[in-house]
């Protein structure tokens, strides 16, 4: 394995000539791999301007937002902008039927009216350091490396992250700020304009943004929420460009892409499609029931807005993936690449010894794990979505954690009750009943006969205490044994036992698959030495670069690279929840009260635009920057024609959909009337 590692290091060192659009690049390697191509494409910055450990750089203005998105600092007072759909769950949690910030929008008019968001945090990257060689020589040094990093960066968190399927390791240091407050967002009809109909589609007209502020202790260091905290003073904030964009302009994105699988094999890709099909079927059923309940009752709409959006986003992506796999022959192309790889391996005895069995081992382990893995997915997408069973699970988790931390039985029970009580704000028991009956029927009709779980839904919901806070408090007062006899708790345990049996059959194959994937990836890197090389996304900060660019989705059709506010009015249908337009925005449009936010060439307000940069989930909210590192927009979506992009990049089709920063400012300023955040920003005109 040491010889394989050295080959990987050599391959990475010699990887030059990256294309201008493909790649989620590691920041410490920009000088070695990318900066020349970036400068040739139009970038005016140096690698040190973008990523530096010893000096301020662009990385200091970019954060991982809430663990699953990206945000950027746009003022010297910690003002942060991200996507509306990234702030969605936080905004929904702060909303009530009386103060529905999600539906109506909200703008703080001073610091005092900014709303604390419990549980929300942001991470600033402090350092990424390659420690592969150190750990290869002595794996026991992992803890020492982490300890030393924490000493070098007091108050920070440090981790070892794996790249290239465990062939490379980086030590990564983050500063985590836990006091984040809601500043404002447009109403949902603008922030989610087009809803699921337009999701993943172009042309797009969604003003997908929300704003928050990072707070710190008086020493500017991370601190838990306190009324005495002050706005964070960043090492770097982004300037905002009002110059506008044109086709061919340089553009780049920095952010935290989530997961890609570009080193996956044909066998793994086929399993992915099988898994997706199970999830699509279950979510189609559940989302239909949710939507019907949401349409019937505004309170239920608020309660289930985030649950529906979270489910539907992945659901639609998986549907698009299936179509793209067929249209673009992803499986066939992967099969051919593997055949070419094996032909290369077979020409050299040493390569055959190192890599010759990797693909066969992967296929064998995928075949072995298929049945239990798909069983786990089916359980997760059906029975595990019954909310009362989830509440029982939450109670059990918090109770056991309390006992582990030496709390008394009474203290542990009380903590568990309080944890579950918090979720009832967004719970509608009649909907859970309907969903439970439908999901249980779907599960039992599809699973192996010996894995069926009988559920009498009426009896379950009539007798469990987990349908309301009042019932749960009464039951908990009788002690933990009484809680454990609750029908929801009993049924959950039956389901978990079934899941554990599947997991036991799955894990050995999965462990061996990880080993063979590591070997295969090392072989691929050696085979493609001298070609662009970047690891799969894993929620670590990356940079991708390219240009503003239109595309042709099919013969005879050309999509422009931008849309305008005129298109919002063309799509307007106030009888359709997804295409409503706020009256004030329509009035601004009619009056042409656009201020600095109109395009000088035609007087229209830009809405969204396209770039050919390489993104995936987790990049939502990422800054789209010009050649000088100024903010020109926010990345918020990919396009329908390239839904297979997590597996293969498609240069002719793949586009990142971005909201123009001028549209963001129009909604904030002219519609929201929020002048005070604008006064903090620095503009380039």
Q: What is the pLDDT of residues 566-582, one digit of tens each?
A: 999 999 999 999 999 99
pLDDT at 14: 43
Catalytic one among 85, 432, 614, 642? 85
Q: For this structure, is 349 an active site residue?
A: no
In tens, the pLDDT along 100-158 reads: 999 999 999 999 999 999 999 999 999 999 999 999 999 999 999 999 999 999 999 99
| Strand, coil or helix: 11 | helix
Catalytic one among 620, 622, 642, 644? 620
In tens, the pLDDT along 332-349 reads: 999 999 999 999 999 999
pLDDT at 8: 59
State yes or no: pLDDT of 18 exceeds 60.
Answer: no
Q: Per-residue confidence at 531, pLDDT binned at 50, 70, 90?
A: confident
- Residue 226, H or E segment: none
Tell me how crowded residue 397 is: count the other CB atoms within 10 A of its CB: 12
What does each C-alpha distance from 455 to 386, 438, 465, 487, 492 come to in angstroms?
11, 11, 16, 10, 11
pLDDT at 9: 52
- Which letter does DSSP use for residue 548 in this model? B
- Which letter does DSSP use for residue 648 in this model? S
In tens, the pLDDT along 612-654 reads: 999 999 999 999 999 999 999 999 999 999 999 999 999 999 9
pLDDT at 550: 97
Q: Per-residue confidence at 21, pLDDT binned at 50, 70, 90?
A: confident
Residue 628 burial class via C-beta count within 10 angstroms: exposed 0-12, middle 13-18, buried 19 and up: middle
Q: In sequence order, which residues have a C-beta less than 8 Å from that of residue 522 and are 6 or more positions away?
A: 4, 5, 7, 8, 164, 167, 354, 355
Determine the Cα–Cα distance for residues 551 and 553; give it in Å rounded to an integer: 6
Catalytic one among 60, 179, 198, 208? 208
In tens, the pLDDT along 579-613 reads: 999 999 999 999 999 999 999 999 999 999 999 99
State yes or no: pLDDT of 195 exceeds 70.
Answer: yes
Q: For this structure, is 620 an active site residue?
A: yes
- Domain range 17-59+69-87+183-211+236-261+538-684, its CATH number among 2.40.10.10, 3.90.79.10, 2.60.40.10, 1.10.3370.10: 2.40.10.10
Break the chain into its structural domains and give their ranges. Answer: 17-59+69-87+183-211+236-261+538-684, 266-522
Q: Per-residue confidence at 16, pLDDT binned at 50, 70, 90?
A: very low
Q: For this structure, is 396 an active site residue?
A: no
Q: In sequence order, which residues have a C-beta less than 8 Å from that of residue 606 and are 6 or more positions away?
A: 244, 245, 562, 563, 564, 565, 599, 660, 662, 663
State yes or no: pLDDT of 223 exceeds 90.
Answer: yes
Q: CA torsion sign, 289 to 416 to 466 to 451?
A: positive
pLDDT at 226: 97
**Mean confidence (pLDDT) of the chain:** 95
pLDDT at 15: 44
Determine the Cα–Cα distance for residues 217 and 220; give it in Å rounded to an integer: 5
pLDDT at 7: 54
Asked whether the beta carbons of 302 and 92 are under 8 A apart, the reply is yes
Residues 60-74: what's their mean pLDDT? 97
Nearest alpha-carbon partner for 546 in 163, 11, 25, 82:
25
Helix ranges restricted to H, 101-220:
101-104, 132-137, 142-152, 188-191, 195-198
In tens, the pLDDT along 258-317 reads: 999 999 999 999 999 999 999 999 999 999 999 999 999 999 999 999 999 999 999 999
Determine the Cα–Cα distance for residues 328 and 644; give it in Å rounded to an integer: 8
In tens, the pLDDT along 77-112 reads: 999 999 999 999 999 999 999 999 999 999 999 999
* 554/75: higher pLDDT: 75
pLDDT at 11: 55
Residues 227-249: what's their mean pLDDT? 97
State yes or no: pLDDT of 1 exceeds 80.
Answer: no
Q: In sequence order, which residues have a C-beta less than 8 Å from that of residue 241 and are 6 or more positions away?
A: 626, 630, 631, 632, 661, 683, 684, 685
């Amino acid at each position: 394995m040491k010889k394989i590692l050295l080959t990987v290091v050599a391959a990475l060192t010699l990887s030059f000539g990256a294309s201008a659009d493909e790649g989620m690049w590691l920041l410490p390697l920009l000088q070695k791999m990318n900066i020349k191509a970036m400068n040739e494409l139009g970038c005016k910055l140096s690698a040190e301007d973008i990523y530096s450990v010893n000096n301020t750089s662009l990385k200091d203005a970019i954060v991982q937002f809430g663990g699953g998105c990206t945000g950027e600092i746009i003022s010297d007072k910690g003002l942060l902008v991200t996507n509306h759909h990234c702030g969605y769950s936080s905004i929904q949690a702060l909303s009530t039927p009386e103060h529905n910030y999600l539906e109506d929008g909200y703008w703080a008019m001073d610091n005092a009216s900014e709303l604390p968001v419990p549980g929300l945090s942001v991470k600033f990257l402090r350092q990424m350091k390659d420690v592969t060689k150190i750990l290869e020589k002595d794996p026991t040094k992992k803890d020492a490396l982490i300890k030393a990093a924490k000493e070098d960066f007091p108050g920070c968190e440090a981790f070892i992250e794996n790249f290239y399927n465990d062939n490379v390791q980086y030590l990564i240091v983050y500063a985590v700020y836990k006091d984040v407050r809601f500043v404002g967002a447009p109403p949902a009809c603008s922030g989610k304009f087009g809803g699921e109909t337009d999701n993943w589609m172009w042309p797009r007209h969604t003003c997908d943004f929300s704003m928050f502020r990072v707070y710190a202790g008086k020493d500017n260091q991370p601190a838990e929420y306190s009324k005495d905290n002050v706005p964070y003073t960043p090492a770097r904030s982004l300037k905002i460009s009002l110059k506008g964009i044109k086709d061919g302009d340089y553009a780049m994105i920095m952010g935290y892409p989530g997961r890609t699988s570009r080193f996956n094999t044909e066998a793994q890709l086929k399993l992915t499609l099988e898994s997706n099909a199970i999830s699509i079927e279950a979510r189609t059923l559940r989302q239909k029931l949710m939507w019907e309940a949401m349409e019937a009752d505004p309170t239920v709409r608020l309660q289930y807005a985030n649950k529906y959006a979270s489910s539907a986003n992945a659901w639609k992506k998986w549907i698009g993936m299936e179509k793209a796999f067929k249209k673009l022959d992803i499986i066939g192309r992967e099969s051919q690449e593997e055949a070419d790889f094996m032909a290369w391996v077979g020409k050299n005895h040493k390569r055959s010894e190192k890599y010759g069995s990797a693909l066969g081992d992967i296929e064998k382990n995928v075949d072995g794990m298929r049945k239990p893995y798909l069983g786990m997915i089916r359980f997760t997408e059906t029975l595990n979505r019954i909310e009362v069973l989830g509440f029982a699970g939450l109670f059990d988790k918090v109770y056991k954690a309390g006992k582990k931390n030496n709390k008394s039985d009474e203290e542990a029970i009380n903590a568990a009750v309080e944890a579950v009580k918090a979720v009832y704000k967004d719970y509608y028991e009649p909907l859970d009943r309907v969903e439970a009956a439908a999901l249980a029927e779907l599960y039992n009709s599809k699973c192996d006969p010996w894995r069926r779980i009988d559920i009498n839904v009426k009896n379950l919901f009539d007798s469990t205490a987990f349908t309301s806070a009042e019932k749960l408090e009464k039951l908990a007062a009788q002690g933990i044994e009484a809680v454990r006899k609750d029908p929801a708790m009993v049924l959950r345990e039956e389901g978990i036992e079934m899941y554990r049996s599947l997991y036991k059959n799955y894990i050995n194959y999965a462990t061996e698959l990880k080993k063979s994937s590591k070997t295969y990836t090392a072989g691929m890197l050696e085979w493609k030495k001298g070609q662009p090389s970047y690891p799969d996304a894993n929620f670590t900060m990356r940079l991708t670069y390219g240009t503003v660019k239109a595309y042709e989705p099919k013969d005879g059709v050309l999509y422009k690279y931008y849309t305008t506010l005129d298109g919002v009015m063309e799509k307007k249908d106030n009888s359709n929840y997804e295409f409503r337009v706020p009256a004030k925005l329509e009035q601004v449009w009619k009056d042409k009260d656009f201020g600095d936010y109109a395009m000088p060439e035609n007087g229209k307000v830009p809405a969204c635009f396209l770039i050919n940069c390489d993104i995936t989930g987790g990049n939502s909210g990422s800054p789209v920057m010009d050649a000088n590192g100024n903010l020109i927009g926010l990345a918020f979506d990919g396009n329908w024609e390239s839904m297979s992009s997590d597996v293969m990049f498609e240069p002719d089709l793949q586009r990142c959909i971005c909201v123009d920063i001028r549209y963001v400012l129009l909604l904030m300023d002219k519609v929201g009337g929020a002048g005070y955040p604008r006064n903090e920003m620095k503009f380039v005109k």
